[in-house]
Chain A
């Protein structure tokens, strides 16, 4: 049994038009967990509940084995949202003055080292930064107080491929320490497909699955065949099916078994994006 940095059990939160319904999952130590789902599925709500920015209705949230409402727990979390939250008139020195007052473990030399490595200019106001530079700065700031847990909410969305790759490097560096973990939400599934150890899919406020990423990409698959052939496939062998005007597609858990059992069907690997689309759009297509 792996030890967890985040443990969420039966978490519920009701809004007027949306509710988070008995959400349970875990983020083990030393692992990167990807949190995927379409816009409005409940990713940010879950993040905000974990951070105690929103109050839960019921359920349990533990961070490092303690209640998430304990303020000292927050000291060990680094958070990045998709918007840069620093005021435009500040420069990186101002940011350091502010944050070193907030975090007891602020590491000034580490901060300088990151700024150099990612070519963040020192004296210029943040208002003049590109979107990529602002995001890099946000991520650097989240890491400069040496947290044990990074929460990233759409942090790499909107960044160009070069910067995204640099950030993936940084994230993999971060978990060189086996005590550290990353909980990483995105609707861009390719980054998660690269570096995540586990993947959690949320849809309409409910957890659809929590799986090892390698199982998803090496075992799951998409089967395509004609309508007549589809009638031969027993329902236990697929998870969801979708009928188009030309063929039937279904999502399966074990593509090798399907290949052996059924001839004359096309069996492809499933990307995280394929899997997400199947669940989100469901059989209605």
Chain B
């Protein structure tokens, strides 16, 4: 498992950890049932405080990506990746619809809009 933390990023470290673990699960690098490093080990390896990692793991648990068994550690939850992707697609659709409405109402061209989206995707 690879996690890369940026100290100069605007995103808090717990959010960076959370996003990267989600990404590793969604792209199949981490599979269901696989054990994650313990919070304390991860804190030590990243040179950050335990509470920061704890917060990331709590968010991952809340979002259904991992399960924590007390005394045993945290594991990738058995979830339906397709289902999560569908659900997130619906969220994205809603936001894009809003963007399209703003664009249409204010004379922003379709090309300009797709350029922006492309830019964000490549970021």
A196 touches B40 (CB 8 A): no
Q: Which residues from 168 to 189 on chain A have a C-beta closer than 8 Å to any C-beta of chain B? A: 168-169, 172-173, 175-176, 178
A196 touches B49 (CB 8 A): yes
- Is B95's beta carbon under 8 Å from chain A? no
- Is B51's beta carbon under 8 Å from chain A? yes
Nearest B-chain residue to A168, judged by Cβ: B47
For the complex formed, measure the closest distance between the CB of A200 and the CB atoms of chain B, giving whole angstroms.
Answer: 14
Nearest B-chain residue to A177, judged by Cβ: B40
Q: Which 9 A-B pairs have the closest CB atoms?
A: A172-B44, A197-B51, A197-B49, A218-B12, A176-B40, A195-B49, A214-B52, A197-B50, A196-B49
- A-contact bits for B33-47, CB 8 A (1 contact / 0 none): 000000011011001
* Chain A residues, CB < 8 A from B49: 32, 194-197, 213-214
For the complex formed, measure the closest distance between the CB of A199 and the CB atoms of chain B, giving whole angstroms.
Answer: 10
A175 touches B40 (CB 8 A): yes
Categorize the interface residue count of chain B.
Answer: 10 to 19
Contacting A194 at CB < 8 Å: which of B41, B47, B55?
B47
B51 touches A175 (CB 8 A): no
- Is A203's beta carbon under 8 Å from chain B? no
Number of interface residues of A (CB under 8 A): 20
* Chain A residues, CB < 8 A from B47: 165, 168-169, 172, 194-195
A172 touches B55 (CB 8 A): no
Q: Which residues from 190 to 221 on chain A have a C-beta closer than 8 Å to any C-beta of chain B? A: 194-198, 212-214, 218
B51 touches A214 (CB 8 A): yes
User: Can you list 14 pairs linking A and B with CB atoms under 8 Å apart?
Assistant: A30-B50, A31-B51, A165-B47, A176-B41, A194-B47, A194-B48, A195-B43, A195-B48, A213-B49, A213-B51, A214-B14, A214-B49, A214-B51, A214-B55
Q: Whole-angstrom distance between the alpha carbons of A163 and B52 in the complex?
A: 24
* Chain A residues, CB < 8 A from B14: 214
* Chain B residues, CB < 8 A from A31: 50-51
Nearest B-chain residue to A269, judged by Cβ: B10
Nearest A-chain residue to B55, judged by Cβ: A214
Q: Which residues from 13 to 33 on chain A have a C-beta closer than 8 Å to any C-beta of chain B? A: 30-32
Nearest A-chain residue to B50, judged by Cβ: A197
